[in-house]
């Protein structure tokens, strides 16, 4: 990578950290940026999953106060998330790269759509059922498979799904989401570091930037108009999804 590509990756990491802290969906910035600097789609995906892991950890630290009283719940669902993430990684590494190239545009578009309708999904919390263990396990397991296979906007999807299952405040749901995302991220780092074509130079450029961006984003979250930023992310994600769709079927 040349200096320009490194600076581009650092900028993407900073932006993704800020976006994740404010609205979620930061991987919709880092993933296409990795493709833009020349990485194949599968390489970009595994590199992105590895690079954003430190940001997940810092999010857990930042939201630890809202995890109070959720220890028993976490003890039950964390193993489910670890198994699901491992399965997602296996699906990615065990299927042809062409299959990923065909599926990923729809995942990106789905992530963008989920982010766009995030507030409407949150509004459904009022009609959500109380904690149902079986349903919770299904939500965690499916989300972890998605995260292991392609983790962009995993946090957004987890918040939306968990809010429909748990009778908790969104702050506590968000804290729970952070732990689950970190668990999925840990599995992807271990599996991809051993078996996948991770581009460590790109990781070194993106990972520290996501941590810094996350800190800055947390400080700015109460000052910036998150709705405006969300529109930008959705527009960006939709454009990238359509571009990847064109590339996959041209």
Q: What is the pLDDT of residues 25-56, one digit of tens each?
A: 788 889 989 999 999 989 999 999 999 888 88
8 A C-beta contact, residue 198 and residue 191: no
pLDDT at 98: 84
The structural domain count of the chain equals 1
State the pLDDT at residue 121: 65
- pLDDT tens-digit profile of 155-182? 777 877 887 788 787 778 888 988 999 9
**179: containing domain:** 3-249
Q: Which residues of the chain have pLDDT under 50?
A: 125, 131
Q: Which long-range contacts (CB under 8 A, 24 or more apart) does 137-140 make?
A: 137/76, 137/77, 137/80, 139/165, 140/77, 140/80, 140/81, 140/84, 140/180
For the entire predicted model, the pTM comes to 0.81
């Amino acid at each position: 990578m040349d200096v320009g590509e490194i600076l581009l990756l650092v900028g993407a990491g900073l932006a993704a950290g800020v976006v994740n802290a404010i609205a979620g969906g930061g991987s919709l910035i880092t993933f296409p940026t990795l493709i833009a600097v020349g990485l194949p789609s599968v390489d970009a995906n595994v590199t992105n999953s590895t690079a954003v892991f430190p940001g997940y950890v810092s999010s857990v630290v930042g939201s630890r106060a809202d995890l109070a009283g959720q220890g028993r719940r976490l003890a039950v669902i964390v193993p489910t998330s670890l198994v699901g993430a491992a399965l997602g990684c296996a699906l990615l590494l065990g299927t042809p790269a062409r299959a990923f190239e065909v599926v990923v545009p729809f995942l990106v578009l789905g992530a963008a759509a989920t982010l766009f309708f995030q507030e409407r999904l949150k509004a459904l919390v009022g009609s959500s059922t109380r904690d149902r263990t079986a349903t919770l396990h299904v939500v965690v397991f499916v989300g972890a498979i998605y995260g292991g296979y392609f983790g962009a906007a995993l946090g957004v999807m987890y918040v939306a799904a968990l809010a429909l299952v748990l009778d908790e405040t969104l702050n506590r749901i968000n804290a729970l989401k952070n732990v689950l995302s970190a668990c999925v991220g840990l599995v992807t780092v271990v599996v991809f570091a051993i078996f996948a074509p991770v581009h460590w130079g790109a990781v070194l450029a993106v990972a520290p930037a996501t941590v810094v961006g996350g800190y800055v984003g947390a400080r700015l979250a109460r000052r910036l108009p998150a709705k405006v930023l969300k529109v930008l992310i959705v527009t960006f994600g939709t454009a990238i999804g359509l571009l990847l769709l064109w590339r996959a079927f041209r």
